Amino acid sequence: MNSDVPQLSASVIAVAKRLFVDIEKASKDGLGVTRPSYGDGETRALEVIEGVAKQQGLQCQYDSGANLWISLPDSPAGPATVIGSHLDSVPQGGNFDGLAGVVAGLMVLMHFKTTGVVPTNPVKVLALRGEESAWFGKAYMGSLALTGQLSEVDLALKHRETAQTLEFAMKQLGVPIDVVKAGQPLVDLSEIGAYLELHIEQGPTMVARQWPVSPVTGIRGNVRHNHVVCQGETGHSGAVPRWLRKDAVLAVAELLSRLDEHWRVLQQMGMDLVMTCGIVSTNAQSHAVSVIPGEVDFSFEVRSQSEQTLEQFYQLMRNECEQIASSRGVTFNFDRKLFTKPAIMDPTWIVRLSQACQDFGIETENMPSGAGHDAAVFSNFGIPSGMLFIRNDHGSHNPHEAMEIDDFVLGVNVLQRALFN
Amino acid sequence: MNSDVPQLSASVIAVAKRLFVDIEKASKDGLGVTRPSYGDGETRALEVIEGVAKQQGLQCQYDSGANLWISLPDSPAGPATVIGSHLDSVPQGGNFDGLAGVVAGLMVLMHFKTTGVVPTNPVKVLALRGEESAWFGKAYMGSLALTGQLSEVDLALKHRETAQTLEFAMKQLGVPIDVVKAGQPLVDLSEIGAYLELHIEQGPTMVARQWPVSPVTGIRGNVRHNHVVCQGETGHSGAVPRWLRKDAVLAVAELLSRLDEHWRVLQQMGMDLVMTCGIVSTNAQSHAVSVIPGEVDFSFEVRSQSEQTLEQFYQLMRNECEQIASSRGVTFNFDRKLFTKPAIMDPTWIVRLSQACQDFGIETENMPSGAGHDAAVFSNFGIPSGMLFIRNDHGSHNPHEAMEIDDFVLGVNVLQRALFN
C-alpha cells in the first residue's frame, strides 16, 4: 500500500451528492426513476454527467456506441484502467443501480485532478448505455455492442412499450448498425487494460453481514428451464389408492426437496450455488381440490460462479428426475435449456481491492455477484475485470434501494486506493 | 349359506340389460348421459324403472321426496331391507354410476317374484334423486331430505346452469318444502331396517387387483382446506444467499414430501389414508423464473374411513407447518377447515356380503370407498348399511366408465344371496 494516497475531499463528495440528486430529478418517475436503454432518461443522465465532468476540467468524448468516456486532460495513451458502469435503469427503478459506478469513476478522476496524485496507468471513466434487460429483453447491449458481440437477432428485439426495435433505438443515437452487425468492436479494445465496476449489491448479504464494501469474486452464470412439465395421471382423490397414483405434485415436491438438500450439502462443501424454482402451477384447466394432480408446470434455475458446478448440478437434477419418474410413474418434459456463462473476476484485481479494503479496516470474504453486470462481458471477453459492491438495503430494481452515502464514499476511496496497489 | 338360493335367471338378466340401454337412450348427451338432480333426465330414468317394475308385477310408490319405492306385491309390513341408489348423473357422465344399484334392486325383486324364494325380512328398492353434487354444489340431497337433514342453506343453493334454487327444483316435483325445512323425515324411517347399495367402484383398485365384486368396509370422510397460503419473501434469485432466503416453494415442497413419507409409513402400519394436494400455484402477479417465490397457494385434502385418523393426520400436517415455518421463516395461513364425517358400514352386513362373495369363490379384502355415497347418510343416521362394489374401468363421472355386465350379474347374485345369510 501506498500510504501517501490521500482520501476524497469534502468538495468532491459534495459534487457526487449533488449529482445523485440532479440525475434522480432528471429521470424521476413516480416513486422511482426511469432511464430507458437508448432512451431519453438515459441520455439526460449522460448529459448531466458530461456537464459536471467538463465543469471539473475533465475531457469528455462519446464513442460510436453513444457511450460517454471521461478522462484527465493530460491522460497518457496506452491501455487504461477503465472505471465503468451503466446509466439506464429499469422502469421505476432505483437511482443508484448503475449510476453509482459512473459517479464513483467521476469522483476518482476529480480527486486525481485536484490532488495531482495519480497512479502510473492511465484511468478513464466509461458511462455505458443499455445494460438493463427490462426494455428490450436483452442485457448488456452497450458493452456487447462495444466489444462487437451484439447479434442481428438482438438488434431485432422490440422495446417493451414502443415496440420499436433495438436497431431503431441505436440508429437514432447514431450508432453505426453495419459495424455492429459485422461483429466489429466500436472502440479500440487494446486501449482497455482493465475494467473496474463499483455497483450496489442487489441482495441482502452485506447488510446482514455488516460489510459496507466488498470486492466481488465473480458473477454467477446460470442454467435455466422456463418450463418443465411433470406429467402424471389425474384421478379421484378418494378412490385411487396410493400404489396406483401418479401424483405430479408429490413428484415435483420430492424433486425439489431432494435438490434443496443437495444444495445445502454442496454449499457446505464449499461450492457456490443458488437454486430457484420461481414458478410452479398445477393445470388450471383440470385441477381441483379432490382430483389427483396430473400435471405440474415449473421453472428451474441454478446459478453459480463455476461453470462446472452449473453443469454438474444440472445433471444431478436430470438424474433425480429420472429416478422419480421411474419410482412414481410420471414423466418430466423439458423445454430449451438456457445457459449464461459465469464470469470470474481477475485474481490480481481481487487481491488489490481486498488489500485496499483491509487498508480501511474492512473485513472481506468471498462475495459472488448473483446478478449480472457489464463486468461479466468484459471479463468473458478476456479483459481483466474487478468489481466492488456497496452495501444496499431492499435489493434493486425497485424505488426502495437504499445505499448510504458514507458506504459509497468508503467504496470510492477503496477503489481509488486499489489503483495504486 | 343357504345353498338352495337359486341364481338369477337369463330372463331377469335380459330385462336388466335392456334397462341399461333404454335409460342410456333416454338421457343421452354427447358421449355420455346427463340426468340432472331433480331434473328431466332423472325423472325420465325413474319413469322407465317404474314402467318395467309395474310390467313385472311389482308395486311402485313415490314418497313425498319424489323418490320411487318398489316392493313385492305381497310384501309384509315392518322394517325392510332397502336396496337403493340414485338415478341422477353428473353432466355428460357415465350410465352406471347410481343406475346400476337401482337396477340391481329391481333384479332382486324380479328374481324373488319369479322364484318365490324370498328372505324372511321384507326387501324394498329405493330409487333416489339428487345424489350428485355437480348440479347444486351439494351431495346426497335426496337421502338427506328423506332423513330430515337437508338445511335451509342447502335449499337456497343454485343450479349450475339455470341458477334456480334447489328449493324451486324440489317444489316443482311436489316436495313439501316446509317439512324439509322443519328437519322432519319424509318417510317413516322405522320402516328402514337396513340400507344396501350396489355401486360401481370409482377408482382403479378392483381392476388392478382383479376383484369383480367387493364388499365395502366404509366410506371415507375427509378434512380439507381449499386454500392454504405459504408466505415467504420474494427476492433476486441470484443475489439472495441460501441463509437469507424465505422460499415459499421449497417450504411447501418440504411440507408435502414430509407428509407423503408419513402417509407411506402410516399406511404400512395399517391406517386407511389418502392425501392429495390437487392445486398448487405461485402468485401469478409476482412470480418469475428469476425471482425467489414469495407466495404459494395450495389445497390440502386427507381422506380416511377413520375420524380419528383424519384428525390425527390433520394435526400432524399443522405441526409440520409450524416446524417448517420456524426453520424457513415462512408462514402458513389456512382458510376454513372443512370436514366430512366418514361412515362405517355395518359389521354384520360386511360379514354377510363377504360370506356371499366367498360362496361365489370371490376373494375379498378390506375395500374402503373413497368417493361418497347415499349409504354414508343412512349409516351416519344410525341405519345399518352395507355396500357392494362392482369392478369398473376408467373411473366415474365421465362417459368412459366401463362395468362388465358379467361382473354386475355376479354382484347382484352376491347381493341377493347375502339377504339370506
SS3 for A66-85, per residue?
CCEEEECCCCCCCCEEEEEE
Q: Is A279 on the interface with B (CB under 8 A)?
A: yes
> Does B276 score more than 60 pLDDT?
yes
Contact A103, A19 (CB under 8 A): yes
B283 DSSP 8-state letter: -
- Give residue B299's region: left, alpha or beta (phi > 0; psi -120 to 50): beta
- Alpha-carbon distance of A387 to A369, in angstroms, equals 9
- Alpha-carbon distance of B115 to B105, in angstroms, equals 15
Could you give the C-alpha distances from B65 to A273, B156, B185, B375, in angstroms and in order? Answer: 66, 17, 9, 17
- A242:B257 CB<8 A: no
Percent of chain B with pLDDT over 90: 88
- Alpha-carbon distance of A197 to A349, in angstroms, equals 11
- Of residues B224, B236, B303, nearest to A203 (C-beta): B236
- A280:B296 CB<8 A: yes
| Closest-CA residue to A125 (of A63, A170, A40, A176) | A63
Residue A300 pLDDT: 97
- Alpha-carbon distance of A6 to B159, in angstroms, equals 82
Q: Is A70 on the interface with B (CB under 8 A)?
A: no
Name the residue in chain A with its Cα closest to that of B234.
A278
Residue with cell 332397502: B82
Contact A215, A386 (CB under 8 A): yes
Q: Is B218 on the interface with A (CB under 8 A)?
A: no
Residue A37 pLDDT: 97
Chain B contact set for A279 (CB, 8 A): 282, 287-289, 293
**Mean local confidence (pLDDT), B147-175:** 96
- Alpha-carbon distance of A384 to B271, in angstroms, equals 64
Chain A contact set for B339 (CB, 8 A): none
Chain B contact set for A205 (CB, 8 A): 239-241, 244
Contact B169, B38 (CB under 8 A): yes
Count of beta carbons in the 10 Å neighbourhood of residue B358? 13
Contact A303, B237 (CB under 8 A): yes
Count of beta carbons in the 10 Å neighbourhood of residue A393? 14
Residue A1 pLDDT: 46
Low-confidence stretches of chain A (pLDDT < 50) are 1
Chain B contact set for A217 (CB, 8 A): none
| Closest-CA residue to A302 (of A292, A294, A293, A312) | A312
| Burial class of A74 by CB neighbour count within 10 A (0 to 12, 13 to 18, 19+) | exposed
Structure-block grid coordinates of residue B56: 313385472
- Alpha-carbon distance of A26 to A23, in angstroms, equals 5
Task: Return all residues near B383 (Cβ < 8 A) that are at least 6 apart.
Answer: B189, B192, B193, B194, B195
Confidence bin at B137 (pLDDT 50/70/90): confident
- B253:A256 CB<8 A: yes
A139 DSSP 8-state letter: S
Helix axes B40-55, B99-115, angle to 10 degrees: 10
Residue A391 pLDDT: 96
Chain A contact set for B226 (CB, 8 A): 289
- Alpha-carbon distance of B327 to B305, in angstroms, equals 33
Task: Return all residues near A21 (Cβ < 8 A) that are at least 6 apart.
Answer: none
| Chain B stretch 396-415, residues whose beta carbon is closer than 8 A to a beta carbon of chain A | 396-397
Q: Is B133 on the interface with A (CB under 8 A)?
A: no
| Burial class of B340 by CB neighbour count within 10 A (0 to 12, 13 to 18, 19+) | middle
Please tell me the distance in Å from B214's CA to the nearest CA on chain A.
14
B8 DSSP 8-state letter: P
Residue B399 pLDDT: 84
- B250:A256 CB<8 A: yes
Confidence bin at B1 (pLDDT 50/70/90): very low
Q: Is A247 on the interface with B (CB under 8 A)?
A: yes
Count of beta carbons in the 10 Å neighbourhood of residue B288? 16
- Alpha-carbon distance of B108 to B91, in angstroms, equals 29
Structure-block grid coordinates of residue B89: 348423473
Structure-block grid coordinates of residue B231: 408466505
| Chain B stretch 337-366, residues whose beta carbon is closer than 8 A to a beta carbon of chain A | none
Q: Is B283 on the interface with A (CB under 8 A)?
A: no
Task: Return all residues near B207 (Cβ < 8 A) that are at least 6 apart.
Answer: B391, B392, B393
- Alpha-carbon distance of B186 to A208, in angstroms, equals 70
Chain A contact set for B299 (CB, 8 A): 289
Count of beta carbons in the 10 Å neighbourhood of residue B294? 21
The β-bridge partners of A199 are: A389
- Alpha-carbon distance of A44 to A47, in angstroms, equals 5
Q: Is A316 on the interface with B (CB under 8 A)?
A: no
The β-bridge partners of B127 are: B68, B85
Residue B196 identity = L
Residue B365 pLDDT: 86
**Domains, chain B, ordered by start:** 10-220+343-418 (3.40.630.10), 222-340 (3.30.70.360)
> Does B4 score more than 70 pLDDT?
no
Residue with cell 377413520: B306
> Angle at the Cα of A281 (from A275 to A286), degrees rounded to 5?
155
Residue A34 identity = T
B39's enclosing H/E stretch is none
The SS3 of residue A226 is strand
CA quadruple A93, A95, A96, A102: dihedral, nearest 10:
120
- Alpha-carbon distance of A27 to A301, in angstroms, equals 33
**Mean local confidence (pLDDT), B19-25:** 97
- Alpha-carbon distance of A115 to A128, in angstroms, equals 27
Residue with cell 334456480: B164
Q: Is the Cα dihedral B193, B341, B202, B65 positive or negative? A: positive
